[in-house]
């Protein structure tokens, strides 16, 4: 049996990471549709028998009926493919959800909050769907598998996650999944898989915590043997660049240098400023002046150029000021908060030198 496995499509996502540039969120949503159409075309052209969607197909709080109709119309173009959807935490099987109230194509089967078995000729498909935005998890130990057939599990799950957390997303242990021949998971947006327990990642990237290629899994199961292939689809990548500003002496020079970076026009970039800074960094100001729409974020990870350990021993106002703030920094565990105090030291020292 040939199959395609996707997860975390998140149709009608607001794409908040693209908010800096007007219109990019709308563009990304159009690209999202284009990628989904490519998956459907692949299924049609390769006579794929089963299509597994492991949750978060759409955003429950944002999705429009027109988007659901678009998805369903594409499902109708592959009538010979059995489509199995396991709702996740962003598209749970709620009473007022489109999973409940919408009439889906006849080749679509949607799993609900009770684990269910669908018997095909040589394969059994098991599935479970979220019934709310959280799930405490399901017990897989009572499932008796047919040893004569291949057994596939489709669900949205947090693999090997702690069950002590307040917010649970169907935590499941790897050891409980090993009895299945293939486990089609969703929830993690970066591809993560061996040949058996598989997160395909999201077909389209949503931000800088999802670096690398994005696409879908194409596979075949025959006589309980699995072969899978990751097929990249997203033409854009989110990328990070570390940029050393130790030799840069002004805001103007920094902006000019960033503008001259050789960047792939299809990709989105986060620029991490590193090194020892020679001037105050005002990110709001710099972001307004950057004209490259592929640069979505600039983060200041640079350090103050002053020798603070030496300066704090000075018998002066400057020494007292540095000592007070360094003592406060030593009490903190949060790096972001520490950086705020280091910034305060920099501004204060600049002010003292200029007076």
* pLDDT of res. 353: 61
- Is residue 343 helix, strand or coil? helix
What does the domain layout of the chain look like in residue ranges? 2-232, 238-353
Give the C-alpha distances (Å, rounded to integers) separating 277 from 50, 198, 248, 296.
Answer: 56, 44, 8, 22
Please list the pLDDT of the chain residue by residue as tens digits (355 residues).
999 999 999 999 988 777 667 788 899 999 999 999 999 999 999 999 999 999 999 999 999 999 999 999 999 999 999 999 999 999 999 999 999 999 999 999 999 999 999 999 999 999 999 999 999 989 898 898 988 899 999 999 999 988 888 789 999 999 999 999 999 999 999 999 887 999 999 999 998 989 999 999 999 999 889 999 999 999 999 999 999 999 999 999 999 999 999 999 999 999 999 998 888 888 989 988 888 889 999 999 888 777 778 888 888 888 888 888 888 888 888 887 887 888 788 777 767 665 5
Helix intervals (H) in 46-119 = 65-76, 98-101
**Nearest by Cα to 7 from 187, 158, 157:** 187
With contact defined as beta carbons under 8 Å apart, do 149 and 122 qualify?
A: yes
Please report the pLDDT score of residue 313 as a whole number: 85
In this prediction, residue 355 carries a pLDDT of 56
Determine the 3-state secondary structure of 256 from DSSP.
Answer: helix
- What is the pLDDT at residue 309? 80
Domain 2-232 annotated CATH 3.30.450.40: no
């Amino acid at each position: 049996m040939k199959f395609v496995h996707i997860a975390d499509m998140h149709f009608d996502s607001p794409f908040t990471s693209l908010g800096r540039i007007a219109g990019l969120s709308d563009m990304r949503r159009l690209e999202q549709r284009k990628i989904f159409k490519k998956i459907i075309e692949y299924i049609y052209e390769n006579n794929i028998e089963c299509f597994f969607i492991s949750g978060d197909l759409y955003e429950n709080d944002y999705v429009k009926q027109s988007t659901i109709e678009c998805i369903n119309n594409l499902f109708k173009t592959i009538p010979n493919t059995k489509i199995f959807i396991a709702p996740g935490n962003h598209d749970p099987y709620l009473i007022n959800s489109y999973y409940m109230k919408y009439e889906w194509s006849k080749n679509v089967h949607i799993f609900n909050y009770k684990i269910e078995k669908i018997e095909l000729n040589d394969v059994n498909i098991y599935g479970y769907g979220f019934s709310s935005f959280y799930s405490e998890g399901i017990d897989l130990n009572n499932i008796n598998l047919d040893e004569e057939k291949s057994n596939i599990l489709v669900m949205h799950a947090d693999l090997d996650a702690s069950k002590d957390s307040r917010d649970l997303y169907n935590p499941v242990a790897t050891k409980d999944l090993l009895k299945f021949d293939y486990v089609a998971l969703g929830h993690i947006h970066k591809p993560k898989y061996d040949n058996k327990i598989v997160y395909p990642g999201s077909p389209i990237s949503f931000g800088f915590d999802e670096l690398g290629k994005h696409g879908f899994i194409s596979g075949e199961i025959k006589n309980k043997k699995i072969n899978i292939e990751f097929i990249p689809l997203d033409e854009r990548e989110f990328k990070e660049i570390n940029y050393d500003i130790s030799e840069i002496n002004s805001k103007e020079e920094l902006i000019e240098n960033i503008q001259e970076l050789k960047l792939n026009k299809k990709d989105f970039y986060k620029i991490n400023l590193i090194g020892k800074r020679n001037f105050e960094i005002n990110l709001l100001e710099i972001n307004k002046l950057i004209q490259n729409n592929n640069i979505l974020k600039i983060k200041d990870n640079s350090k103050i150029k002053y020798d603070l350990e030496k300066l704090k021993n000075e018998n002066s106002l400057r020494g007292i000021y540095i000592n007070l703030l360094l003592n406060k920094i030593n009490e903190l565990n949060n790096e972001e908060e520490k950086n705020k105090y280091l910034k305060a030291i920099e501004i204060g020292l600049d002010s003292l030198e200029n007076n």
